[in-house]
C-alpha cells in the first residue's frame, strides 16, 4: 500500500456554482479573477497539473496530471461543511448563522461559564473589531465576541490579558454550549498582541469544530488499520476524530514542509493537509496581490512535494469553497473546487470532468485503500489510472 494525499488549498475556488446567486456570490471566481488581475502570475506547476486546461491558459510543457472540478451538495459555503463533504460526509442543512449576534440567554450562560464578561456580539471583520474594541478589552478583561456571514462564534483576546490556555479552555466551554439550534460550525479563538492602534492577530488561532456526525474517510481509513495524518487545521476541523497523527502547522510554508516530510515518512495511509493562508490572510481581507503571491509561493514548492512521492502514491490538490478577493464581499463564496490529481500511475491529461459532489474525492480514496463498503460519492480512481483499484 502507499499514501493518498489530499491538499486543501483553503478557499481556492474555481468559479461560481449554478446556485451561487442564492448566496450572494453570482459571478465569483477566486482563481479566475486573480489570474485576470495578474496575467503575469507565475504558477507553471499548477498549470501543468491541469489548471491550464480548466482556465484556458497556455499549457507550456503539457499537462502532467489529471484534472477536473467538483460541485458542492452541502447547502453552504463554509470550511467545516466543505471539508466534511470532501471526506465523504454530506450534511443536509447549513450550519446556523447569527448576523444580528447571538441570543442574550446564550451570552449570559457563556459569560457565566467563561468567568468573564463580553463585549461586541455582532458580525464584524476580525481585524476591525479588535481595532474598535481592543482597548476596552485590555482595560476591562471582557472578551470580544463576534461572528461573520459564516457559521462561527469567534472570541478575540489579547494574549497578555487572557493567556492562551485560558482562551482555549473558554472556547471549549463555548463549544459545549453551542448545541441544537445554536450549533455553529466552528468556535474560533482569535488571540492578538500589541498596543492600541497597532493590534495584530497572532498565529495562535485555534478552531473548535462541530464534531463529524457520521463516518468520514478519515475514520474509515483509520478503522482499516492505516495511519491518518492531519496537517494544519485538519485536527480542528474534524475535532480530532479519525486521526492517528497530527501536525498543527500554522501557515502555508510550514504546512507544505510538513506535507513533503509526511510523504517521505515510513507509513501507509492518508495524509490530509489544509493550507490556511489563502483564506485567512488574503481572501477574507480582499488582498488580491497577497493571494496571488501565496499561490506563487505554493507553486514554487509543488515540485518538492511531487518529487517526494513514492511510485504508488496519489496526491490531490483541491479546495473547500471560494473566497474571491476581487469582490466587495469579504466572506466565502459558493464555488466549484478544482481537482488536480498526480501520481506515477495517473494518466497525464485525463479530464475527470465536473463531479457532482466533493465526496468523489473520498470515494476515490476509499477505492485506493480497498474499502469496498464505501457508498458516498463516485470514485474516479480507474478513470485516472486506467487500471484496477489499488
Q: How confident is the model over 12-40, as pLDDT tens digits?
A: 999 999 999 999 999 999 999 999 999 99
C-alpha cell of residue 11: 478557499
147 assigned to some structural domain: yes
Q: What pLDDT was estimated at residue 325?
A: 98
pLDDT in tens, 163-220: 999 999 999 999 999 999 999 999 999 999 999 999 999 999 999 999 999 999 999 9
Residue by residue, DSSP assigns 274-320 as EE-HIIIIIITTT-HHHHHHHHHHHHHHHHHHHHH--TT-EEEEE-S
Domain boundary among 191, 209, 227: 209
- Rounded CA gap, 30 and 33, in Å? 6
Residue 277's domain comprises 3-91+212-385
| Residue 66 pLDDT level (bands cut at 50, 70, 90) | very high
Q: Are residues 224 and 287 in the same domain?
A: yes
What is the chain's Cα-based Rg? Answer: 21
Residue 158, classed as helix, strand or coil, is strand
Summarize the confidence of residues 287-300 as an average pLDDT.
98
Q: How far is CA 43 from the centre of its chain?
A: 21
Summarize the confidence of residues 353-367 as an average pLDDT.
98
pLDDT beyond 50 at 389? no
- Rounded CA gap, 315 and 5, in Å? 4
Domain boundary among 209, 244, 259: 209
Summarize the confidence of residues 362-386 as an average pLDDT.
95
Q: Percentage of the chain with pLDDT > 90?
A: 97
- Rounded CA gap, 320 and 8, in Å? 7
Say which residues have a Cβ less than 8 Å from residue 212's Cβ, sequence separation at least 6. Answer: 84, 87, 89, 219, 238, 239, 241, 242
pLDDT beyond 60 at 126? yes
Q: Are residues 218 and 310 in the same domain?
A: yes
This prediction has a pTM of: 0.93
Q: Are residues 39 and 132 in the same domain?
A: no
Q: What pLDDT was estimated at residue 64?
A: 97
Q: DSSP assignment, residue 335?
A: B
Summarize the confidence of residues 323-332 as an average pLDDT.
96
C-alpha cell of residue 23: 448566496
Q: Are residues 236 and 373 in the same domain?
A: yes
Residue 279, classed as helix, strand or coil, is helix
Q: What pLDDT was estimated at residue 387?
A: 61
pLDDT beyond 90 at 148? yes
Q: Are residues 80 and 221 in the same domain?
A: yes
Q: Are residues 254 and 366 in the same domain?
A: yes
Amino acid at each position: 500500500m502507499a499514501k493518498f494525499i489530499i491538499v486543501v488549498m483553503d478557499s481556492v475556488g474555481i468559479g461560481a456554482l449554478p446556485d451561487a446567486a442564492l448566496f450572494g456570490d453570482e459571478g465569483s471566481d477566486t482563481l479566475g479573477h486573480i489570474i485576470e488581475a495578474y496575467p503575469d502570475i507565475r504558477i507553471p506547476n499548477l498549470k501543468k497539473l491541469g489548471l491550464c486546461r480548466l482556465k484556458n491558459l497556455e499549457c507550456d510543457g503539457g499537462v502532467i496530471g489529471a484534472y477536473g472540478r467538483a460541485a458542492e451538495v452541502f447547502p453552504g459555503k463554509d470550511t467545516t461543511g466543505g471539508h466534511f463533504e470532501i471526506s465523504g460526509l454530506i450534511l443536509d442543512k447549513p450550519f446556523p448563522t447569527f448576523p444580528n449576534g447571538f441570543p442574550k440567554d446564550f451570552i449570559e450562560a457563556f459569560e457565566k461559564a467563561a468567568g468573564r464578561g463580553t463585549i461586541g456580539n455582532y458580525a464584524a471583520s476580525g481585524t476591525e473589531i479588535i481595532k474598535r474594541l481592543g482597548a476596552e478589552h485590555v482595560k476591562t478583561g471582557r472578551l470580544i465576541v463576534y461572528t461573520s456571514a459564516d457559521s462561527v462564534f469567534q472570541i478575540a483576546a489579547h494574549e497578555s490579558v487572557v493567556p492562551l490556555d485560558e482562551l482555549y479552555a473558554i472556547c471549549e466551554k463555548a463549544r459545549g454550549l453551542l448545541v441544537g439550534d445554536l450549533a455553529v460550525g466552528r468556535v474560533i479563538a482569535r488571540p492578538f498582541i500589541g498596543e492600541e492602534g497597532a493590534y495584530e492577530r497572532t498565529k495562535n488561532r485555534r478552531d473548535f469544530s462541530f464534531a463529524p456526525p457520521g463516518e468520514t474517510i478519515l475514520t474509515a481509513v483509520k478503522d482499516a488499520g492505516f495511519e491518518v495524518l492531519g496537517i494544519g487545521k485538519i485536527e480542528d476541523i474534524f475535532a480530532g476524530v479519525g486521526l492517528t497523527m497530527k501536525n498543527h502547522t500554522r501557515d502555508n510554508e510550514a504546512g507544505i514542509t510538513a506535507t513533503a516530510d509526511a510523504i517521505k515518512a515510513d507509513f501507509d495511509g492518508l495524509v490530509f493537509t489544509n493550507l490556511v493562508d489563502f483564506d485567512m490572510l488574503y481572501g477574507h481581507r480582499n488582498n488580491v496581490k497577497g493571494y496571488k503571491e501565496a499561490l506563487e509561493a505554493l507553486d514554487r514548492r509543488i515540485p518538492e512535494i511531487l518529487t517526494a512521492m513514492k511510485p504508488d502514491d496519489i496526491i490531490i490538490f483541491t479546495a473547500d469553497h471560494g473566497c474571491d478577493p476581487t469582490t466587495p464581499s469579504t466572506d466565502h463564496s459558493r464555488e466549484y473546487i478544482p481537482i488536480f490529481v498526480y501520481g506515477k500511475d495517473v494518466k497525464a491529461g485525463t479530464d475527470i470532468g465536473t463531479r457532482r459532489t466533493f465526496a468523489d474525492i473520498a470515494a476515490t480514496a476509499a477505492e485506493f485503500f480497498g474499502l469496498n463498503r464505501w457508498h458516498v460519492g463516485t470514485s474516479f480512481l480507474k478513470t485516472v489510472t486506467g487500471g484496477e483499484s489499488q
